[in-house]
Chains A and B, each alone.
Chain A
Amino acid sequence: MSNLAVLPILIPLIAAITLVFFNGNVTVSRVLTRLFSLVSLGAALYIAWHAMENGTIILETGDWAAPYGIILVVDRLAALLIVTTNLVAAACAFYAPHAGLGKKEYYYFYPFFFFLITGVSGAFITGDIFNLFVFFEVLLMASYALIVLGGDKVQLRESIKYLLINLFSSMLFVTCIAFLYAVVGTLNMAHIAERVQEVDQQGILTTVGILFFFVFATKAALFPLYYWLPHSYIQPNPVISALFGALLTKVGIYSILRVFSLIFVHRLDITHELFIWIAILSMIFGVIGALSTNNIKLIIAYNIIPAIGFIIMGIGVFNQDALSGSVYYLVHDMIIKAALFLIVGAIAYVAGTSDLRKMGGLIHYYPALGWLLFIAAFVLAGIPPFSGFIGKLQLLQGAFGDGEIILAITALITSLLILYSIMKIFIRGFWGEKDETAGFGTKSVKGMIAPIAFLLALSVLLGVGAEFFYPIVASVAQSLLDPQIYIDSVLKE
Chain B
Amino acid sequence: MIFAVLVPLLIACFIPLLSKMKHRIHTGIFVFFVPLAIFLYFVRYIGENFTPVRETVNWIPSMGINFDFYLDGLSLLFVLLISGIGALVVLYSIYYLDKQERLGQFYVYLLMFMTAMLGVVLSDNVFVLYTFWELTSISSFLLIGYWHFKERSRYGALKSMMITIFGGLSMLGGFVLLTVVTGTTSIQGMIDQTDTILNSSYLPLILILVLLGAFTKSAQFPFHIWLPDAMEAPTPVSAYLHSATMVKAGIFLVARFSPIFSTYEWFFIIVSLVGILTLCWASYMAVRQTDLKAILAFSTISQLGMIMAMLGFGTQAAVFAAVFHILSHATFKGSLFMIAGIIDHETGTRDIRKLGGLMTLMPISATLALFGTFSMAGVPLPFLNGFYSKELFFGSTLGLDGNILSQAIPYLAVLGSIFTFVYSMYFFFGVFTGPKKLDQLPKKPHEAPIGMHLSPIILVLGVIVIGIWPNLLNGSFLYHAASAVNPATTYYEVSFWHGFTYPPLLMSLAVVAVGTALYLTRRKWETVYGVLPGRLSLNKAYDGLMKRFDTYSDSLTNYYMTGSLKNYMAIILGATFLVTAGVMLYTGGFTISFDNLAEVTIIEVAIILAMIIAAVATIFINHNLAAVLVAGIVGYGVAMLFVIYRAPDLALTQFVVETITVALFLLCFYHLPKLRKRKESARSKWKNASIAISFGAMMTLIGISTHSSRWFDSISEYFLETSYKLGGGDNVVNVILVDMRGLDTLFEIAVLGIAALAIFSLIKWKKNKGEAD
Q: Give A residues with C-beta under 8 Å from B.
A: 13, 20, 24, 61-62, 64, 67-70, 102-103, 106-108, 111-112, 115, 118, 122, 130-131, 134-135, 137-138, 141-142, 144-145, 148-151, 160-161, 164-165, 168, 172, 175, 178-188, 191, 195, 199, 203-208, 210-211, 214, 218, 224-225, 227-228, 230-231, 267, 270, 274, 288-289, 291-293, 361, 363, 378, 383-385, 389-390, 393-394, 396-397, 400-401, 405, 408-409, 412-413, 415-417, 419-420, 423, 427-428, 431-434, 466-467, 470-471, 474
* Nearest B residue to A420, CB-CB: B162
Pairs of residues from A and B, 6 with the lowest C-beta to C-beta distance, nearest first: A145-B758, A185-B714, A431-B148, A292-B557, A384-B131, A204-B705
Structural contact, A185 and B560, CB atoms closer than 8 A = no
- Give the residue among B556, B567, B713, B750 with the most A Cβ atoms within 10 A: B750
With a cutoff of 8 Å between Cβ atoms, the chain A residues found around residue B556 in the complex are: 288, 292
Structural contact, A182 and B707, CB atoms closer than 8 A = yes
- B601 part of interface (Cβ distance < 8 Å): no
Stretch at the interface among B19-27, B57-65, B295-303, B503-511: B57-65
> What does the 1/0 interface line of B142-175 toward A look like (CB < 8 Å)?
0001001100001001100110011001101100
* Nearest B residue to A230, CB-CB: B561
The answer to whether A206 and B587 touch (CB under 8 A), given A185-B714, A186-B715, A474-B62, is yes
With a cutoff of 8 Å between Cβ atoms, the chain B residues found around residue A293 in the complex are: 554, 557
- B761 part of interface (Cβ distance < 8 Å): yes
Structural contact, A148 and B758, CB atoms closer than 8 A = yes
Structural contact, B575 and A130, CB atoms closer than 8 A = no
With a cutoff of 8 Å between Cβ atoms, the chain A residues found around residue B620 in the complex are: none
* Nearest B residue to A20, CB-CB: B757
Structural contact, A182 and B176, CB atoms closer than 8 A = no
Question: 11 A-B pairs, CB-CB below 8 angstroms?
Answer: A144-B758, A145-B755, A195-B711, A227-B571, A270-B583, A361-B149, A400-B176, A427-B148, A431-B145, A434-B149, A467-B58
* Nearest A residue to B739, CB-CB: A62
Selected contact of A228 from candidates B127, B568, B744, CB within 8 Å? B568
Determine how close the nearest CB of chain B comes to the CB of A239; give it in whole angstroms: 16
Determine how close the nearest CB of chain B comes to the CB of A438; give it in whole angstroms: 14
* Nearest A residue to B130, CB-CB: A384
- Give the residue among A274, A383, A471 with the most B Cβ atoms within 10 A: A383
Main secondary structure of the interface of A (DSSP, over half): helix
Determine how close the nearest CB of chain B comes to the CB of A477; give it in whole angstroms: 13
- B391 part of interface (Cβ distance < 8 Å): no
Determine how close the nearest CB of chain A comes to the CB of B727; give it in whole angstroms: 9
With a cutoff of 8 Å between Cβ atoms, the chain B residues found around residue A67 in the complex are: 715
The count of A-to-B residue pairs whose CB atoms sit within 8 angstroms is: 291
With a cutoff of 8 Å between Cβ atoms, the chain A residues found around residue B170 in the complex are: 412
Q: State the CA gap A206–B213 with chains docked (Å).
A: 43
With a cutoff of 8 Å between Cβ atoms, the chain B residues found around residue A141 in the complex are: 751, 754-755, 758
Given A224-B571, A292-B558, A433-B149: 10 more A-B contacts, CB < 8 Å? A67-B715, A68-B715, A107-B764, A161-B568, A203-B709, A270-B586, A415-B169, A427-B148, A434-B149, A470-B63
- B689 part of interface (Cβ distance < 8 Å): no
Q: State the CA gap A112–B711 with chains docked (Å).
A: 42
Residues of B562-604 contacting chain A, CB below 8 A: 563, 565, 567-569, 571-572, 575-576, 579-580, 583-584, 586-591
The answer to whether A427 and B158 touch (CB under 8 A), given A107-B765, A225-B572, A467-B58, is yes
Structural contact, B706 and A180, CB atoms closer than 8 A = yes
With a cutoff of 8 Å between Cβ atoms, the chain B residues found around residue A214 in the complex are: 575-576, 579-580
- Give the residue among B169, B557, B703 with the most A Cβ atoms within 10 A: B169
Structural contact, B765 and A274, CB atoms closer than 8 A = no
Q: Give B residues with C-beta under 8 Å from A.
A: 58-63, 65, 127, 130-131, 134, 138, 145, 148-149, 154, 157-158, 161-162, 165-166, 169-170, 172-173, 176-177, 179-180, 202, 205, 549-550, 552-554, 556-558, 560-561, 563, 565, 567-569, 571-572, 575-576, 579-580, 583-584, 586-591, 699, 702-703, 705-707, 709-716, 718-719, 722, 726, 739-744, 747-748, 750-751, 754-755, 757-758, 760-762, 764-765, 770-773
Structural contact, A106 and B762, CB atoms closer than 8 A = no
Structural contact, B59 and A467, CB atoms closer than 8 A = yes
* Nearest B residue to A122, CB-CB: B747
With a cutoff of 8 Å between Cβ atoms, the chain A residues found around residue B180 in the complex are: 397, 400-401
Selected contact of B154 from candidates A396, A408, A417, A427, CB within 8 Å? A427
Structural contact, A135 and B718, CB atoms closer than 8 A = no
Q: State the CA gap A264–B148 with chains docked (Å).
A: 54
Selected contact of B772 from candidates A103, A130, A400, A470, CB within 8 Å? A103
* Nearest B residue to A146, CB-CB: B758
The answer to whether A207 and B740 touch (CB under 8 A), given A225-B572, A427-B154, is no
With a cutoff of 8 Å between Cβ atoms, the chain B residues found around residue A175 in the complex are: 699
Selected contact of A207 from candidates B154, B558, B589, B739, CB within 8 Å? B589
Structural contact, B718 and A68, CB atoms closer than 8 A = yes
Structural contact, B740 and A134, CB atoms closer than 8 A = no
The answer to whether A69 and B740 touch (CB under 8 A), given A211-B702, A427-B158, is yes
Structural contact, B710 and A183, CB atoms closer than 8 A = yes
Selected contact of A149 from candidates B145, B575, B761, CB within 8 Å? B761
Structural contact, B750 and A115, CB atoms closer than 8 A = yes
With a cutoff of 8 Å between Cβ atoms, the chain A residues found around residue B563 in the complex are: 231
Structural contact, A106 and B169, CB atoms closer than 8 A = no
Determine how close the nearest CB of chain A comes to the CB of B151; give it in whole angstroms: 9
The answer to whether A137 and B169 touch (CB under 8 A), given A168-B569, A185-B715, is no
Determine how close the nearest CB of chain B comes to the CB of A365; give it in whole angstroms: 14
* Nearest B residue to A145, CB-CB: B758
Structural contact, A204 and B718, CB atoms closer than 8 A = no
Q: State the CA gap A179–B710 with chains docked (Å).
A: 10
Structural contact, A134 and B770, CB atoms closer than 8 A = no
With a cutoff of 8 Å between Cβ atoms, the chain A residues found around residue B579 in the complex are: 210, 214, 274
* Nearest A residue to B742, CB-CB: A62
Determine how close the nearest CB of chain B comes to the CB of A191; give it in whole angstroms: 8
Q: State the CA gap A182–B157 with chains docked (Å).
A: 61
Structural contact, B758 and A207, CB atoms closer than 8 A = no
Q: State the CA gap A361–B154 with chains docked (Å).
A: 12
Q: State the CA gap A298–B770 with chains docked (Å).
A: 26
Q: State the CA gap A412–B174 with chains docked (Å).
A: 11
With a cutoff of 8 Å between Cβ atoms, the chain B residues found around residue A103 in the complex are: 770-772
Q: State the CA gap A62–B169 with chains docked (Å).
A: 53
Structural contact, A416 and B166, CB atoms closer than 8 A = yes
Determine how close the nearest CB of chain B comes to the CB of A313; give it in whole angstroms: 14
Structural contact, B62 and A115, CB atoms closer than 8 A = no
With a cutoff of 8 Å between Cβ atoms, the chain A residues found around residue B554 in the complex are: 292-293
The answer to whether A112 and B165 touch (CB under 8 A), given A182-B706, A270-B587, A383-B134, is no
Determine how close the nearest CB of chain A comes to the CB of B625; give it in whole angstroms: 22
* Nearest A residue to B588, CB-CB: A203
* Nearest B residue to A424, CB-CB: B158
Structural contact, A138 and B750, CB atoms closer than 8 A = yes
- Give the residue among B61, B165, B758 with the most A Cβ atoms within 10 A: B758
* Nearest A residue to B558, CB-CB: A292
Structural contact, A471 and B62, CB atoms closer than 8 A = yes
With a cutoff of 8 Å between Cβ atoms, the chain B residues found around residue A432 in the complex are: 148-149, 154
Q: State the CA gap A24–B761 with chains docked (Å).
A: 12
* Nearest A residue to B773, CB-CB: A106
With a cutoff of 8 Å between Cβ atoms, the chain B residues found around residue A203 in the complex are: 587-589, 591, 705, 709
Determine how close the nearest CB of chain B comes to the CB of A117; give it in whole angstroms: 12
Q: State the CA gap A409–B176 with chains docked (Å).
A: 11
With a cutoff of 8 Å between Cβ atoms, the chain A residues found around residue B712 in the complex are: 183-186, 195
Structural contact, B751 and A137, CB atoms closer than 8 A = yes
With a cutoff of 8 Å between Cβ atoms, the chain B residues found around residue A195 in the complex are: 711-712
Q: State the CA gap A52–B765 with chains docked (Å).
A: 46
With a cutoff of 8 Å between Cβ atoms, the chain A residues found around residue B750 in the complex are: 13, 115, 118, 138
With a cutoff of 8 Å between Cβ atoms, the chain A residues found around residue B722 in the complex are: 68
Selected contact of A384 from candidates B127, B715, B748, CB within 8 Å? B127
Determine how close the nearest CB of chain A comes to the CB of B773; give it in whole angstroms: 7
With a cutoff of 8 Å between Cβ atoms, the chain A residues found around residue B568 in the complex are: 161, 165, 227-228
Determine how close the nearest CB of chain B comes to the CB of A344; give it in whole angstroms: 18
Determine how close the nearest CB of chain A comes to the CB of B660; give it in whole angstroms: 18
The answer to whether A137 and B550 touch (CB under 8 A), given A68-B719, A107-B764, is no
